[in-house]
Amino acid sequence: MTVDYRGTTALITGASSGLGAEFARQLARRGANVVLVARRLDRLTQLAAELHEEHGITATPLEADLVEPGAVDRVVATVTERGLTISSLVNNAGFGTRGRFDEEDPARIHEEITLNVTALVDLTRALLPGLYSAGRGSLITVASTAAYQPVPYMAVYGATKAFVLSFTEALWVEAQGTGLRVLALSPGATRTEFFDIAGESARVGAFREPRDVVAAALRKLDGRNPGPSMIDGARNRATAISTRLMRRRGVAALTGRIMAPDQE
C-alpha cells in the first residue's frame, strides 16, 4: 500500500529548513517533484539544486512570506502560471511565541495566527480540488503535541495547533473515496529552528530528529487505512493520551506549572 509519488508534484511550505526541508528530501527520494515555499530563497535554491542532483526530480524554489496579505494567492497563481499540477501538499510553515499573553506583542500574535491558521486554511482550500482530482497524493499538516491540551505561556501557539488538528481530522473524513490521503502530524520536541524563536525552555521531552519524524509520517500514510492523525514518538503519544484521562482544569494547571517562565 506504499503511496506512489513518482511523477507527481508536492508543494511544501516552510521548506527552507527543519521538517519542511526533510519532507522535501524524503518525497524527492520517492520520485516526487517538489515546489519549495519559504521566505529564504537562497536556502530554497540550494535545496532545489541538491534534490535535482541526487534524485533527478524537478525542484522549484518559490520565495514567499505567507504572513503577507495576498501571499497565498500569489503562490497559487505562480504554480498555475508554470503549469504545475499539485498532487500533494505539506502544510509545515508555522512558528510559536512564548510568554504571558498580556505581555506579548499584538502584531506578532497576529502573524502567528495568520501563518499557523489562516495561510494554512487558504492554501489548502485553493489546492484541495486539484488534490482530489489527482487522487493519488497526500495532504499533510504539521500540528503539534501542543494541540492536545491548553498551553499556558504558549496560549496562542497551542490554540492554533489545536485548530490545525481538528481541521485536518475533519478533512480526513471529507476526503474518503477520493484517493487523497490526509494526515495531521503532531511532533513533540524536534531538532529544528522552531526553538530559535520559541526558546529552548519551550521544549518538553527529548529531541527527535526531523528525518525520523518525517519517515514515521510517511510510513503512516503508507498504511492500509491511515489517518486521520498521529503523534510522533511513543512517549509523546503516552503523554497526550494521559491528558484525556484528567479533568481539563487539572491538565491546564499542570501544563502551566511545566511551562511557567519561572521554571527556566
Q: Which residues are catalytic?
A: 157
Secondary structure (DSSP) of 57-121: --EEEEE--TTSTTHHHHHHHHHHHTT----EEEE-------S-GGGS-HHHHHHHHIIIIIIHH
Intra-chain end-to-end CA distance of the chain, in Å: 46
How far is residue 110 CA from its own chain's centroid? 19
Q: Please give the C-alpha separations between residue 99 and each of 93, 152, 153, in angstroms, as whole numbers.
A: 21, 8, 5
CA–CA dist 199, 204 (Å, integer): 11
Q: Phi/psi at 173 (nearest 5 deg)?
A: -65, -45
d(CA 252, CA 1) in angstroms, rounded, equals 40
Q: Residue 70: count other Cβ atoms within 10 Å of its Cβ.
A: 8
